[in-house]
């Protein structure tokens, strides 16, 4: 964001957060009215994680948001939405669209947004996959062990008969 004059008490995260969420809500309501899908989903919401003043340019600051909820795009079906692995990218696209439409000027956002960068993919719970893989290996070993024990007992019976 571009900050021409820094407030004495600094940039208040709640103020930025509430205005961004307000703009996302306005954009969501506009989208839903266009497609007659009002109240299908709630609007995206973000939380400010950090605000840092740029070391290179004193008129710039970096604001990092945490995506609390990413509203699905109207074009997505339910199956596509739940398989989306980029909620931060989806919300950053909404912020860019709100900026392009002029919602930030409409609500009186105090700073000019220079760029919006969406985050990476949603973290996949690797522990669940590892547990599932371990469980599958355990069952395969158990089946193999059981078949070896059955074969072993047949070998033992043959050896006992010969003695």
* Distances, alpha carbon 101 to alpha carbons 20, 24, 68, 71, 73, in Å: 14, 12, 23, 18, 16
In a domain, 23, yes or no: yes
pTM for the whole thing? 0.64
Statement to judge: residues 19 and 59 lie in one domain: yes
- Helix segments in 1-125, DSSP class H: 13-34, 78-82, 87-101, 103-107
106-144 tens-digit pLDDT:
888 888 888 888 776 655 566 777 888 899 999 999 998
Q: What is the mean pLDDT of the chain?
A: 78
**Structural domain boundaries, residue 134:** 124-163
Statement to judge: residues 87 and 49 lie in one domain: yes
Q: Are 58 and 148 in contact (CB under 8 A)?
A: no
Q: Which residue has the tokens 């006992």?
A: 160
* pLDDT score of 3 more than 90: no
The whole-number pLDDT of residue 54 equals 83
In a domain, 115, yes or no: no
* CA–centroid distance for 101 within its chain: 24
Statement to judge: residues 21 and 78 lie in one domain: yes
* pLDDT score of 93 more than 70: yes
Q: Are 71 and 28 in contact (CB under 8 A)?
A: yes
Q: What share of the chain is helix, strand, coil (3-state, %, to 5)?
A: 50, 15, 35
Report residue 15 as tokens: 């103020």
Statement to judge: residues 23 and 95 lie in one domain: yes
The whole-number pLDDT of residue 139 equals 92
* pLDDT score of 163 more than 60: no
60-70 tens-digit pLDDT:
888 888 888 88
Q: Is 103 exposed, middle or buried (0-12, 13-18, 19+ CB in 10 A)?
A: buried
Q: Domain count of the chain?
A: 2
* pLDDT score of 153 more than 70: no
Least confident of 35-39, 57-61, 110-114: 35-39
**Can you tell me the mean pLDDT for 52-75?**
81
Q: What is the DSSP letter of 60?
A: B
The whole-number pLDDT of residue 135 equals 92
């Amino acid at each position: 964001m571009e900050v021409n004059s820094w407030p004495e008490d600094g940039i208040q995260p709640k103020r930025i957060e509430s205005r961004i969420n307000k703009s996302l809500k306005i954009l969501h309501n506009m989208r839903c009215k266009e497609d007659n899908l009002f109240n299908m989903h709630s609007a995206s919401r973000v939380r400010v994680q950090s605000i840092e003043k740029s070391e290179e340019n004193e008129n710039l600051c970096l604001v990092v948001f945490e995506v609390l909820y990413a509203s699905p795009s109207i074009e997505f079906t339910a199956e596509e939405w739940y398989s989306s692995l980029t909620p931060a990218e989806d919300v950053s696209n909404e912020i860019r669209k709100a900026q392009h439409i002029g919602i930030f000027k409409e609500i009186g956002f105090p700073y000019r947004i220079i760029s919006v960068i969406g985050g990476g993919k949603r973290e996949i719970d690797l522990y669940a996959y590892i547990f599932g893989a371990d469980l599958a290996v355990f069952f395969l070993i158990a089946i193999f062990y059981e078949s070896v024990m059955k074969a072993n007992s047949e070998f033992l019976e043959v050896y006992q008969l010969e003695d």
